[in-house]
Amino acid sequence: MTQHGYGSWVTRLLLKGGPIIALFLLAGYLSAVSPHFRTTSNFMNVLAQTSVTAILAVGQTLVIISGGIDLSVAAMMALAGSLSAVSLAYWGWSVWLGLPLGLAMGTLLGLLNGLVITKGRIPDFIATLGMMTTARGVSLLLTQGLPVPSHVTAIQLKAYLPPELIWLGSGAVLGVPVPAVVAVATALLGWTVLHYSRLGRSALAVGGNREAARVSGINVDRARIAVYAFSGFTAGIGGLVLTGRLNSANALMGEGMELQSIGAVVLGGTNLFGGEGTVVGTAVGALIMGVLGNGLNLLNVSAFWQRVVMGLVIIIVVIFDQWRRRRFGA
C-alpha cells in the first residue's frame, strides 16, 4: 500500500468510524481507572440507563437528517407516558388499549409538529419549542401535577400500573434489560425506514437540498410531516419504557432529554444541517453519553461537573464535525 493510499484509508477510518473509536477509547480508559466499570452488571446498567435516550434519538435522527430539529421529544414522551398511566391506573383500561393510546398520542403530537412547521411556515425550532411547553402543560393538567398513581389515589382507589408495563421498563430477557431490547428494536425500525423506505430516501434528499428534492418530484411537506410523526411515535415508545422503569408517570419526567437526544445524534456523526447521518451512529452516540455518565458516577464526579463535562463534549464534537466536513468535504 502506498503512503498516499495508507493516508486515505486512515482518513476514511477517522471520518466514518470516529464515534466507534471514541466509544472504545472511552470504555478502555474507564476500565483501566475503575474496576467496577467492566463488570457485567454495570454494563447492563449502562444499557438500561441509555435506552430511553437512544429511543428518542432514533426519531430525532430522521428529523435532523431531513434538515429539522425536534425540541419537543421529551415533553411528548412525558405526555404519552402520563396518558397511558392515567388510562391504566385510573380509567381501568386494559394494557391492550392503554399502551397503544400512549403511542397514538406521541404520533399525533409529532404529526401536529409537522403540520404546523410545513403548513404554518414556522421554523422547526419555534414550532417544537411551543409544542414542548404545550405538551408539558397538558401533562400537568392530565395528572393534576401529581405522580400517577399518586400515593393517596393508590390507597383510595387501589390504583396501580399493570405488571406488563413495569416489565417493559424494568424487566429482563435472558439477563438483558427489556428497555435495551426495546431500544435495539426501535433502532432497527429506524434503520429500516432510513435505508429501505421512500420516507428515508426523501428525508435524506430534503435535508441535502430541499429545492432539488422538490424539483425531483419529492413532496417535501409530506416527507417532513412524516419524519416528525415518526419522531412522535418513538417518543411514545420512550414514554412507555420510562413509565415502566420509574413504576410511575409524571408530567415533568424526562426533562432535558430532548438535548440528550440531540447530543446522541451529533456524537453519532449526523450532520446538524441535514442530508447525512445514520441510526447506527446515533446508537453509538447514545452509548458514548451513557458510558461517560456512568464513568463519571463511578469516579465520584459531582453531578454539577458532570453537566459541564457533557456540555463541553458535545460542543467539542460539533466543532470537530464541522471542521472535518470543511477540511475533507465529508
Mean pLDDT of the region 44-62: 94
- CA of 277: how far to CAs of 112, 258, 265, 285, 289, in Å? 25, 18, 8, 12, 18
| Within a domain: 292 | no
Residue 2, Ramachandran bin (φ over 0: left; ψ between -120 and 50: alpha; else beta): beta
| Within a domain: 121 | yes
Name the domain count of the chain.
Answer: 1
What is the residue-averaged pLDDT of the chain?
Answer: 88
Mean pLDDT of the region 15-24: 76
| Within a domain: 31 | no
Q: Closest by alpha carbon to 269, among 210, 208, 320, 305? A: 320
Label the pairing between strands 172-173 and 176-177.
Answer: antiparallel
Integer Cα distance of 325 and 110 in angstroms: 31
- Residue 251 pLDDT > 80, yes or no? yes
Mean pLDDT of the region 26-50: 88
| Within a domain: 143 | yes
- Residue 154 pLDDT > 60, yes or no? no
pLDDT at 151: 57
Q: What range does the domain containing 83 cover?
A: 48-254
Q: What does the block give as the cell for 226? A: 412524516
- CA of 328: how far to CAs of 53, 282, 320, in Å? 30, 21, 12
| Within a domain: 3 | no
What is the per-residue pLDDT across 256-297, written as a single tens digit (0 to 9) for each? Answer: 899 889 989 988 888 888 888 899 999 999 999 999 988 888
Mean pLDDT of the region 114-135: 94
54/312: higher pLDDT: 54
| Within a domain: 211 | yes
The residue behind cell 480508559 is 29
Integer Cα distance of 109 and 239 in angstroms: 13
pLDDT at 276: 84
> Angle at the Cα of 43 (from 39 to 45), degrees rounded to 5?
115
pLDDT at 305: 86
The percentage of the chain sitting over the pLDDT mark of 90, rounded to a whole number, equals: 55
Mean pLDDT of the region 69-84: 96
Q: Closest by alpha carbon to 25, among 288, 242, 246? A: 288
| Within a domain: 18 | no
What is the per-residue pLDDT across 289-300, written as a single tens digit (0 to 9) for each? Answer: 999 988 888 888
| Within a domain: 7 | no
In sequence order, the β-bridge partners of residue 172 are 177
Mean pLDDT of the region 125-144: 95
Please tell me the least confidently modeled range out of 8-17, 98-107, 239-248, 276-285: 8-17
